[in-house]
Structure formats: C-alpha cells, structure tokens
Amino acid sequence: MRHPSREWKFILPVIVLTIVLAGADLWYFNSQAGPAGAPAAVSAAGDCFFDPEKKPFPNHQALVTVSDPYAGTYDAPVTVIEFFDPNCPHCKNLYPTMKQVVAQYGDRARFVFKPIALPGWDHSVPQVLAMYAAAKEGKFMLMMEEQMERQQPRTGLSLEELKEIAAEIGMDPEAMAEQVQRGEGREYLLSQRQMAGQIGVTGVPAVLINGKFVDGRSRTVECLGALIEQEAARAP
C-alpha cells in the first residue's frame, strides 16, 4: 500500500508548475483579447490589425533609450518594440517570426528589444542581465537566440549555462558572469518592467509599431511587414 505522503511528494511539484505556467499563460492571453464584448480589432492594413483595446503611445521615441539593444536601421521612420521574457513559451514561439521580420524589414525599421522578467519569474533576471552584457559587445541577438533555443520555463538557465552560451558566441564567460552576479543592469530591467505596465503592456510578448500595439492575431511575418510599410508611408 502506498503511503499518501509519498504520493503528495511527487504530485505537489506538478501542481505548483501547473499554477506557475497558468499564470504566465494568463499574462499572455490578456494581451491577445480585450474584455468580454470588446469590439473587433480595427483594420489597419488589409487583414492586419492594431489592437483597438490598447491606447497608442503618441511619443513612442521616448520609450527607447541608448541602453536598449536594437537591430535594423537606427534612424528609420518606423520603430518596432518588443517586450518579452526569455522564459515565456509564447515569446519563444514568436521569436522565429520576429527574426524573419528583422531580416526582411531591417532597412525600413528599427527593432528595439526590451527583455523583462515576468512578475514572480525571478529566474529570468540573470538571463536578462546576460542579454544586457551581450548587447555591450554587439552580441545581443546571438545571446537571445541561444537562450530561446535552450529555454527552461520552470527554472530558467543556470549561470553555468549562460557562461556556456557566452563562450559559444565569442564573449568572455567569466566577465559576463561577474556582471550578472553584480546585478549590473537590474535597476534598468525593473524600470523597463514598470514602464511597460504604465503604457498598457498587460502580457508578453507585446509588440508595438510606432507606439501602436499590434493585435495578437496579426503577429505574423506578413502582417508585421504590412503594418511596418503602412507606418513608413505615413512618416513625414
């Protein structure tokens, strides 16, 4: 006969993991749909939409600082901002799409990446700090790709795993580890998470084009491209 306490010893971690991932999914799905009875998204470019439930941020350039890693053309008329958590499964799913959009539209847009740790997901903090360290050496995209490839939503990547990535992408792993352990960039990370909440980010991934939130249904290569081209055409 099995002892009940032994069964709970194995069942309890599964319950905890389910609750944690459900919380992350709630954050994600809050960004996908508005409240019950909300109107359908307004068409912006054919069948591609901005989110009608999210107020655009008019001065979108103010959201970008010199500390933010970016790809594409710095002074382009269109700025695409993505908020994400490196351990968010939905962010990992969006990554190949964003990578392709950067490759296709990098000459017409600046892509700004804002990694933030979801509330309660402190295990994501060292990974974000490792991304900041990589950004200083122009290796942010490489660090981001490797982290997404090795994603461990429940625990995050260990410092040793981050050091392995650093070595593989041509960084000094010990120097990177020291920056992470010192918490270099932690205050900026927290300020960006706070700012995200203030402008209406309720879940990740969240993508803004010139301050307008992209509807969750339009986070495809085709739609992101169409919305970028639309905003470029409207630029003075």
The CATH number of 4-234, from 3.40.30.10, 3.30.70.20, 3.40.50.150, 3.40.47.10, is 3.40.30.10
Residues in the chain with pLDDT < 70? Answer: 1-44
Q: What is the rounded CA–CA span in Å between residue 15 and residue 6?
A: 15
pLDDT at 64: 96
pLDDT at 21: 42
CB 117 within 8 A of CB 85: yes
Q: What is the rounded CA–CA span in Å between residue 93 and residue 50?
A: 20
pTM, full prediction: 0.82
Q: Tokens 């490759």, residue? A: 103
Q: Number of C-alpha atoms within 13 angstroms, CB side, residue 96?
A: 3
pLDDT at 31: 41
pLDDT at 42: 59
pLDDT at 46: 78
pLDDT at 49: 94
User: Mean pLDDT in the chain?
Assistant: 86
